[in-house]
Structure 1
Amino acid sequence: MFELVEDVKAKVHIREYSVSQTTLEQIFNSLASQQEEEEEELFVAFTKTVLITDSTRGIGLALVEHFLKAGWNVIGTARAGSNAEKATILEVARQLEGQPIDLIINSAGINLPGSLETGTKEVLMRQFEVNAVGPFLVARTLLPNLQLAANTRGFAFVVQLSSFVGNMGSHTSETAAFFKDSLYGYGTSKAALNMITRSLAFDLQPKDIGTRKPADCVAAMTDLIAKLTPESTGKFINLDQQIPVAELPW
C-alpha cells in the first residue's frame, strides 16, 4: 500500500513534469510577449510627441529632424495652407484620437508680398487664414490631445512661430525699408497671431497647457522649448541677437 501510494505520487509528478515540459516554451513566449508589451507601453508613456505643421520644408523640416534625433515621436503636416482648412484639421484630429500630444509647433506660414499699390483683398486674407486662423484652429481642434498629455505629465505646450514684424513697435522709420512689402499682409497676419496666442495663453493655462512664441532660429528655438515651464505661457520671446530685447511686449 505504501509503495502504491509512492508509485501514484511518482506518476503524478511525472505527469506534472511532462505537462510543464510541453508548455514551457509557450509560457516563456507568453512572458516574453507580455514583457515586450509592457516595455512598449513604458516607451510610449515616456516618449513625448510633437506635432509640427508644414513639416516638409524650411524651419518645419529642421524641427522634425531635431526632434527625431532627440527621440521624440514626431507627427508632421505637409502643406502650409492645410492648417487653415477645417476638413483637413478634422481629419487629422480623427486620426490622432486618443494620442497625447505634448507639444504643437505651428511653423506653417506664408509671406505674399503686397504694397500699398499692389496689395489685394485675396492676398491679405490668404495670409490671415494661414498665419493666424490656421494656428488657432489647430490648437483648438487638438485640445483633447494636449489635455491627455497634460493629464499624464502635468503640462503641454503650443508654440507659435510669429515674426518681429508682428509687433506694433517694430514698425518704425528705421525699419520701414527693411520690412517693405511685408507689412500689409504678413505683418498684419502675424500681429493677429500674437493676439490669438495671447488669448490662448489665458484660456489654456488653467488646463496646464502653455503657449509661447519664439523667433525662427531652430537651434535657439529648440533650446528654448526644452526650458519651457507653465510660467512661460503667454510670453513673446525674441531670439535675434541683433535685437537686444529678450522678452518682447505686444
Structure 2
Amino acid sequence: MKKTVLITGTSSGIGQAAVRRFAEAGWNVVTTMRSPARAVELAWPEQVLVTRLDVQDRASIHDAIEAGIARFGRIDALVNNAGFGQYGLFEATPEDKIREQFDVNVFGVMEVIRAMLPHFRQHRAGVIVNVSSGAGMFTLPMISLYCASKFALEGFSESLSYELASQGVAVKLVIPHGGVSSTRFGERSGREYAGHAAIADYDAFVAATNQAFDRMRAARMMTSDEVAQVIYEAATDGSDRLRYLVGDDARGFVKARRELPEEGYIDFMRAHFRTEE
C-alpha cells in the first residue's frame, strides 16, 4: 500500500518541490495551498490530490485532512511548510502584522498538527516534519518577528517530540539556512515592508543592514529541490533524529551559535551589523 503525505504551502518554492519529490518516490500526496486555482497550470500525476488549506482557517484544515483520508485511505506523514517572514523594524511593524506572523508560522502549524494527531494515534504511527529556519537558531536584525516565530517553532517541536514518541509519532525539524533560491518567500515580505512607517532615526542602521544582507545573498544559495530532498529523507529515514540542517554555513552563523561562548557569539553577530559612528 502506497504511503501518503500531506504538505502545506505548496503553491511554489520548497512546498512545490517537496510535492514533486514525494510523488517521484511513489507516494500519494495531498498538496495544499490557500488558493488551489494556482495549481491549475501544474500537471500533477494522478496520485496528487490538490485541495485548499489555509492555516489560519481551522475548517479548511479539517476539510483537507478528511479529503486526503477519503481519497487515499490513510495519511502517514505531515509536512508543515506554509509560512512567511516579516521584514522590517519591530517598532515600525503594525500590531496586526505581528500577530499574523505568529498565526501563520506558529499557531497555524499547531492547528494542523492538532487536527492530524487523532488519525496518527489511531494507527500508532506517523511522521511530522516542520520546516524551520536558521533564524530559529541564530538571529538577524530586521527579521525579529520571523526569528521569534521560528524560535517558538523550534521549542514547540522539540518538546512535542517527547510527547508524541509515546504514541509512535516522530517529529522532525528541517532547517534551511543560508538562503533558498527559486522561491517566492521574499515577495510577501517585500509587500509587507512597503506598508511600514518610516522612522528616520534608524536610517543609518537600516542602510548598513541592507548592505550586510546584500553581501550574504552573494554567497551560494541552496535550491528548493535540495531542501525538498532533506524533507523527504527526514520523513522516510525511520530514525528518531530531530534536526536536519541544510545549507551553506559560509557566513559561520551556525558554527558560531553552536561553538562559541555566549559573549563571543553575540560579538561575532553584532560585527556584521555595526554602523559607523
TM range (shorter): 0.5 to 0.7
Q: Does 1:57 align with 2:29?
A: no
When Rg is computed on C-alpha atoms for both structures, the one with the higher figure is 1
Q: Residues 199 and 85 (structure 1 numbering): CA distance in 2 closer, same or farther, change over 3 Å?
A: farther
Corresponding residue of 1:213: 173
Question: What is the CA–CA distance in structure 2 between the aligned matches of 1:79 and 1:157, rounded to whole Å?
Answer: 23
Equivalent residues of 1:114, 1:123 under 8 A apart: no
Alpha-carbon shift at residue 95 of structure 1 (Å): 2.9
Contact 1:97/1:145 (8 A) holds in 2: no
Q: Is 1:71 the equivalent of 2:26?
A: yes
1:87 is aligned to 2:59: yes
Q: 1:112 to 1:208 in 2, by over 3 A?
A: same
SS at match of 1:139: helix
Map of 1:190 onto structure 2: 150
Residues 166 and 132 of structure 1: CA distance in aligned 2, closer, same or farther (over 3 Å)? same
Unaligned runs of 5+ in 2: 36-52, 177-226, 260-277
CA distance, structure 1, for counterparts of residue 31 and residue 120 of structure 2: 16
Scaled by the length of structure 2, the TM-score of the pair is 0.61
* Counterparts of residues 204-243 of structure 1 (less than 5 Å): 204-216=164-176, 217-229=227-239, 231-232=240-241, 235-242=242-249
The separation in 2 between residues aligned to 1:66 and 1:139, in whole angstroms, is 22
Matched to 1:89, the amino acid is I
Q: CA deviation at 1:96?
A: 4.1
Following TM superposition, by how much is the alpha carbon of 1:103 offset from its aligned partner in structure 2, in angstroms? 0.8
Q: d(CA) in 2 for partners of 1:223 and 1:96?
A: 22
List aligned pairs for 1:165-204, cutoff 5 A.
Answer: 165-167=135-137, 170-171=138-139, 179-183=140-144, 185-204=145-164
**Structure 1 residue identity aligned to 2:27:** W
Query: Given the superposition, is the C-alpha separation of residues 224 and 241 from structure 1 closer, same or farther in structure 2, using an over 3 Å criterion?
Result: farther
TM value normalised by structure 1:
0.67
Match of 1:138 among 94, 112, 117: 112
SS at match of 1:75: strand
Greater RCO, 1 or 2 (C-alpha within 8 Å, sep 6+): 2
In structure 2, what residue type is equivalent to 1:54?
G
1:147 maps to which of 112, 121, 125: 121
Q: Is the 8 A contact 1:221 1:239 kept in 2?
A: no
Whole-Å separation in 1 of the counterparts to 2:126 and 2:81: 17
How many Å apart are 1:122 and its aligned residue?
1.2
Partner SS for 2:151: helix
Q: How many residues align?
A: 186
| Deviation of the 1:67 alpha carbon | 0.7
Moved more, 195-204 or 103-112: 195-204
Aligned partner of residue 180 in structure 1, secondary structure: coil
RMSD: 2.5
Higher helix share: 1
Could you tell me which amino acid in structure 2 is paired with residue 85 of structure 1?
D
Q: Percent identity?
A: 26
For residues 198 and 189 of structure 1, the distance between their equivalents in structure 2, rounded to whole angstroms, comes to: 14
Paired AA for residue 4 in structure 2: T
CA distance 1:109–1:213, change in 2 (3 Å) = same
8 Å contact 2:129–2:234 — kept in the other structure?
no
